[in-house]
């Protein structure tokens, strides 16, 4: 198993030493996305960081139906299939805390959150993001103080430490803090996303220092390697808010004033340009989360393959992938209704093409999954003429012509997702930790 503590400490020290480096964090439970991440990391001779969220994977199964140990085994099975070395896999838990149970009273919600964190530790996850920033059932409407948030985080860290000691495993490393957009994303019409203020970051950091010391967690403080902030990156359904370094200058300067070497962890770095990603790393964002952009590319690739299938096969033999996806989303609108507004036609377009990519919640549904598998099987049997591939998936076409793909529809689909990851690996070669 890779020594996560050593790895991330070296990453942090490189930033403090004036040589900023970073690593993308792949936040997805889709097997094709994870395969793409591993194949690209393998090509770059780099480790791969894969994280599961509290909603995706928890002690009750989450919306994927997987518990932490199931997700670990799921990732390892893909690693075996792709010949990716297991000792180069870093497993993380994202937003671990009471969020899935936030409507319950605080005591009950925190009890579930404690069980959640312990289940991740027992399954061998080493990078733990503790997030207690949300209001719980009996908190009232007043903003939560930094002390309350830090106090709840300390409770969860104590549980994590006990679980790690009982299991005889390595001590986990931690990420704290949370800067997430309001439900549905930023308000329509906003011209920019405002970064976390220098004052807010330093106040929150100081609160964690005080509360954790009072709780006897001084050793845990040395293993906090990142703080989640909002550097000014986000996306809404039809727009990406690109990183503007000048807006985050005070925040990034504050990172250098604290005694303990840490980096920022940036969430929602999806769809950022390669230049923006490089600037984020330069400015202290050492861990860059990406998820929806990868499943967005997965959906694009499947739609492109289906377009070729329609040209190559009679109607009766086609997979009906896009029809199955649309039916699943219309049958159960819980994952997109708060995001997609407008008339029926507008909502239909958003279900397909929105940057929010709420379609990702439906790709694992059995009818949709079966249709995708049929699509790949159909095209594997018919073959895809390379001159047609050039029309629909030009990057895969170029790789095929260079004999860097095996010619299977799956390899073409995975290649389309790897293009996204190259923005984090190849383009940022001077910044990526190997």
Residues 6+ apart with CB under 8 A from 138: 105, 106
What integer is the mean pLDDT of 406-411? 96
Q: How many CA atoms lie within 13 A of 246 on its CB side?
A: 1
**pLDDT score for 188:** 47
Q: Is the pTM of this model over 0.85?
A: yes
Q: Over the stretch 29-47, which tens digit does the pLDDT of each residue have?
A: 999 999 999 999 999 999 9
Q: Over the stretch 318-354, which tens digit does the pLDDT of each residue have?
A: 999 999 999 999 999 999 999 999 999 999 999 999 9
Which residue blocks in 274-343 are alpha helix, DSSP H? 274-282, 292-312, 321-331
Q: What is the pairing mode between strands 234-236 and 239-241?
A: antiparallel
Tell me the residue length of the chain. Answer: 434
Q: How confident is the model at residue 82 (pLDDT cuts 50, 70, 90)?
A: very high
Lowest mean pLDDT among 2-16, 194-208, 287-301: 2-16
Of 152, 97, 158, 160, the residue nearest 130 (C-alpha):
97
Q: Over the stretch 361-398, which tens digit does the pLDDT of each residue have?
A: 999 999 999 999 999 999 999 999 999 999 999 999 99
Of 409, 378, 410, 412, the residue nearest 393 (C-alpha):
412
Q: How confident is the model at residue 183 (pLDDT cuts 50, 70, 90)?
A: very low
Matching CATH number, 4-290, of 1.25.40.80, 3.40.640.10, 3.30.70.2740, 3.20.20.70: 3.20.20.70
Mean residue pLDDT of the chain comes to 94
Helix 106-122 × helix 68-82 angle, to 10°: 30
Q: Sign of dihedral through CA atoms 320, 324, 330, 331?
A: positive
CATH 1.10.400.20, the chain: domain bounds:
295-414
CATH 3.20.20.70, the chain: domain bounds:
4-290
Tokens of 124: 């061998």
**pLDDT score for 245:** 97
The CATH fold assigned to 295-414 is GI Alpha 1, domain 2-like (1.10.400)
What integer is the mean pLDDT of 115-129? 97
Of 154, 158, 103, the residue nearest 132 (C-alpha):
154
């Amino acid at each position: 198993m890779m020594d996560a503590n050593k790895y991330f400490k070296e990453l942090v020290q490189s930033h403090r030493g004036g040589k900023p480096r970073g690593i993308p964090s792949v936040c997805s439970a889709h097997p094709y996305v994870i395969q793409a991440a591993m194949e690209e990391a393998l090509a770059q001779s780099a480790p791969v960081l894969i994280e599961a969220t509290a909603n995706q994977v928890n002690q009750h199964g989450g919306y994927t139906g997987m518990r932490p140990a199931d997700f670990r085994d799921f990732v390892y099975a893909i690693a075996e299939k792709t010949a990716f070395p297991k000792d180069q896999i870093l497993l993380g838990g994202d937003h671990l805390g009471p969020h899935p149970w936030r409507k319950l009273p605080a005591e009950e919600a925190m009890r579930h959150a404690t069980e959640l964190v312990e289940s991740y530790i027992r399954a061998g996850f080493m990078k733990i993001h503790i997030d207690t920033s949300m209001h719980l059932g009996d908190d009232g409407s007043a903003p939560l103080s930094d002390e309350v948030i830090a106090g709840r985080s300390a409770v969860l860290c104590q549980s994590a430490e006990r679980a790690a000691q009982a299991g005889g495993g390595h001590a986990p490393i931690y990420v704290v803090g949370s800067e997430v957009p309001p439900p549905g994303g930023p308000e329509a019409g906003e011209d920019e996303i405002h970064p976390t203020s220098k004052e807010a970051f330093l106040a929150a950091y100081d609160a964690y220092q005080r509360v954790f010391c009072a709780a006897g967690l001084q050793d845990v403080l040395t293993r906090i390697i990142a703080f989640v902030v909002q550097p000014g990156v986000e996306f809404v359904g039809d727009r990406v808010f690109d990183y503007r370094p000048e807006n985050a200058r005070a925040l990034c300067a504050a990172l250098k004033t604290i005694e303990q070497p840490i980096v920022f962890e940036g969430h929602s770095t999806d769809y950022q340009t390669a230049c923006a990603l490089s600037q984020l790393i330069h400015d202290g964002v050492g861990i860059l989360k990406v998820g929806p952009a990868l499943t967005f590319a997965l959906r694009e690739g499947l739609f492109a393959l289906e377009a070729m299938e329609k040209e190559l096969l009679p109607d009766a033999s086609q997979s009906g992938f896009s029809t199955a996806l649309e039916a699943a989303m219309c049958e159960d609108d819980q994952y997109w209704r708060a995001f997609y507004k407008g008339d029926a036609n507008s909502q239909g377009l958003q279900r397909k093409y929105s940057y929010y990519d709420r379609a990702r919640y439906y790709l694992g549904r059995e009818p949709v999954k079966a249709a995708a598998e049929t699509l790949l099987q159909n095209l594997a049997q018919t073959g895809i003429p390379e001159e047609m591939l050039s029309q629909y998936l030009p990057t895969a076409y170029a790789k095929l012509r260079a004999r860097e793909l095996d010619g299977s529809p799956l390899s073409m689909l995975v290649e389309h997702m790897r293009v996204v990851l190259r923005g984090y690996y190849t383009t940022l070669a001077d910044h990526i930790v190997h």
